[in-house]
Amino acid sequence: MAIKVFVLGNAERPGVRKAAEELLPFIREHCDVCMFDLLQEQDLGKVQADLALVFGGDGAILRAARQMGYHQTPVLGINLGKLGFLADLRPDEVRAHLPQVARGAYRVTRHLMFECVVETPGETRTFLGLNEVTFKSGPPFHLIDLDLAVDGEPVSRFSGDGLIVSTPVGSTAHSLSAGGPVLGQELAAFVITPICPHTLTYRPVVDSADKVYTVTVRSDTSDPVLIIDGQESMPVTPENRVTVRRAPVAFQLVKVPGHTYYQTLRDKLRWGTLPNYRVDS
């Protein structure tokens, strides 16, 4: 029996629709396509599939993870973006690897997802995410003052441009650019990374995903903004209480033979490679 797949992606990215439609007949030769959605319009919780083929970049995979919600399906990413850290395959590699995948020649890795709970008097909203929660100042871009509590214990007060609470998958994204560490993607941990803190003593901290992280803003003079996975944003005020905790579901990533995490670090982030020194003759 053929495996059932979703074909998902971001049709707004150039080349995605063309690549997906060109490969669709080949995909149907090896798989049962139970949903084709490049606009993130369908409710994936109503249909069961074995895999989700996601066309686009890492942003498309983040959207697909949120679209699947609490019914996560293993994702095989097909990279049409710039970096494609989560997307293992290029479109030209699909024809070589998909028949193997259809026969079960792959493994699935499981990765921490988070719930971001935003509480205001009389209302509570919960967002599911994969990469990170970011607090940033808005116009006129004054310093933002934030209080962090872990499992209810006051931990620190941050003053600066903001704060990132990241998963291991997100550790190679915004957090890395802000000076955070690279975490093994299958760890159960969060990274707390200050953004340009106005002090010499703050450093990123890694702690357990079994703890609950609560952030509140001390003043709204900087018009602070909460951003989830770089794609959803909302203003926050001292009336808001923002909690980040482990989600009850895990993101599942399909890894094909010959593609490893350290290989991705080397090839796409140039990690551990020697500088290309110029030798003058």
Active-site positions read 58
Per-residue H/E/C for 54-95: EEECHHHHHHHHHHHCCCCCCEEEEECCCCCCCCCECHHHHH
Q: Which residues pair with 189 in a beta bridge?
A: 208
Cis peptide before 168 (omega within 30 of 0): no
Question: Cα angle at 223 between 67 and 195, to 5 degrees?
Answer: 75
Contact of 16 with 56, CB cutoff 8 Å: yes
Exposure string of 38-67, with b = 16+ CB inside 10 Å and e = fewer, is bebeeebeeeebbbbbbbbbbbbbbbbbbb
Q: How far apart are CA 174 and CA 158, in angstroms?
A: 18
Strand, helix or coil at 191? Answer: strand
Tell me which H or E stretch contains 156: strand 153-160
CA atoms 151, 155, 160, 164: torsion sign: negative
